[in-house]
Structure 1
Amino acid sequence: MSLCATILVIDDEPQIRKFLRISLVSQGYTVLEAATGAEGLSMAALQQPDVLVLDLGLPDMDGQQVLREFREWSNVPVLVLSVRASEAQKVQALDSGANDYVTKPFGIQEFLARIRALLRQAPQGEARETAVQVGPLTVDLAYRRVLLEDVEVALTRKEYAVLAQLARHPGRVITQQQLLKDIWGPTHVENSHYLRIVIGHLRQKLADDPTHPRFIATEAGVGYRLLEA
């Protein structure tokens, strides 16, 4: 990967973004900036950067959530840059798909070396599928949109998160415990009623009859799967 690579920085602190922009541009990189998680996800989908630098303390959504949503449709390397220094935060970020983790304050030379290392392992040429089609249903993972017969369906965050997780693995059963852990967190793996409520709302909005499903099938006692077209 050459030095003309594009780096997307998602951080709500203008001074940090400015410092990183000056440092990265001086090394020949193109730099994109976003101050919120939603803006960053949209920019990532549109601009397709080579590396994403992500702060965890964002004003609109937690950076851990940004990371999980980004990983739904992209395998671009992610470097987390955060003041959160606890082992638990680092483990959570790495388990959610981060490639590296740097705590603030940080040395710029080490940061640049880590960027170079991530660029060496950046995916080449093969783009991940960002939209899943099941008959008249489209789940656009990049733009977080769900269309039914070309009409956008309004979903809550949890409803979208469950449907997106199923869409990432069409035809495969995702267990209740896995969905609860990924979307509600590891302390909620026994709260299956949360998931049943969300699945019920999804079926209502998608006009999906559970007795003769077109989209979401229940595997009794195990979990759910998105039917393949």
Structure 2
Amino acid sequence: MSTILIVDDEPQILEILSSYLRKEGYHVITAEDGRQALECAATYPISLIILDLMLPDMTGENVCREIRKASRVPILMLTAKSGEADRITGLEIGADDYIVKPFSPRELVARVRAILRRIGEYQVLSDLIGMGDLMISLREKNVTKKGQAVEMTPNEFRLLTTLVRHPGRTWSRDELVEEVLGMDFIGSDRTIDTHIKNLRQKLEDDPKEPKYIKTVYGLGYRFDNPAKNGG
């Protein structure tokens, strides 16, 4: 049974979401502020976190940053901010998806199912991929660069493995959204650009002159193996 942590300071939202998720068979834990959220995340085997950005003691962004220091658990952000810049900020600090208030509880449950389904699809993979100074373990879902661990979110890892498993292939944004985020993803295809930017910051020696993740202008992105290109 998957365990969902809901973090929100509005009792009505906690009650409604808990009820919907429990009806779907999930085990639910709730927290009303950032401190409680961090304690729960460190104590329980959480499968996914639903995180409100407006909390009484600390911002949801800061809670997300703290969780990302130790965990890659999927994070679905709840936000009253509908601007694209605000949503991109959430993705850049490690959120996997976002939903804008007011929202339909049924839509949120569908988002939760979709995220957990995508996570589960990658649990069956068991091989290692080596590219240049990168080593990617599909079974363990981790990445090292020159022997050093590279922390990344589940969506970043899925995007990287999608590109790496097909080196040299050019992917459009729409193809990557469908492959990485799922056909039921609701949002801009520019979300992929944010994840690409994050991956370059983590994997490239010079993100402005990437040797792995290349932009194919007007088309999309591709992954190059430096060893095959004289790199």
Q: What is the rounded CA distance, in whole Å, between the counterparts of 1:98 and 1:117 in structure 2?
A: 15
Residue in 1 that maps onto 2:17: 20
Q: CA deviation at 1:127?
A: 8.8
> Does structure 1 residue 97 correspond to structure 2 residue 94?
yes
Q: What percent of counterpart residues are identical?
A: 44
**Structure 2 partner of 1:32:** 29
Please, what TM-score do these two structures have when normalized by structure 2? 0.52
Once residues 8 and 26 of structure 1 are traced to their aligned partners in structure 2, the CA distance between those partners, rounded to angstroms, is: 15
Trace 1:5-154 onto structure 2 (pairs within 5 A): 5-122=2-119, 124=123, 126=140
Which runs of at least 4 in structure 1 moved beyond 2 Å after TM superposition?
A: 121-128
Q: Provide closer, same or farther for how the CA distance between residues 8 and 127 of structure 1 changes in structure 2, counting only shifts above 3 A.
A: farther
Alpha carbons 1:50, 1:122 under 8 Å: kept = no
Where does the alignment leave 5 or more consecutive residues of structure 1 unmatched? 129-229
Distance across 2 between alignment mates of 1:27 and 1:33: 16
* Contact residue 57 and residue 82 of structure 1 kept, 8 A: yes
- Aligned partner of 1:55: which letter? D
- Give the whole-Å Cα distance in 1 for the aligned partners of 2:26 and 2:115: 13
Tell me how far apart the structure 1 counterparts of residues 15 and 140 of structure 2 sit (CA, whole Å). Answer: 32
The Cα of 1:48 is off from its aligned counterpart by 2.2
**RMSD (CA atoms):** 1.9
TM-score, normalised via structure 1 length: 0.52
Q: Distance in 1 between matches of 2:28 and 2:87?
A: 25
Q: Amino acid of the residue matched to residue 69 of structure 1?
A: E
- Higher alpha-carbon Rg: 1
How far apart in 1 are the matches of 2:17 and 2:104? 11
8 Å CA contact retained: 2:3, 2:26: yes
Cα pair 1:11 1:36 within 8 Å, conserved: yes
C-alpha deviation, 1:51, in angstroms: 0.3
Identify if the C-alpha distance between structure 1 residues 127 and 8 changes in structure 2 by more than 3 Å, giving closer, same or farther.
farther
Cα 1:116/1:73, change in 2 over 3 Å? same
Quickly say closer, same or farther: Cα 1:64–1:122, change in 2 above 3 A: same
Counterpart contact for 1:6–1:31, Cα < 8 Å: yes
Aligned residue-pair number: 126
CA distance in 2 between partners of 1:97 and 1:121 (Å)? 17
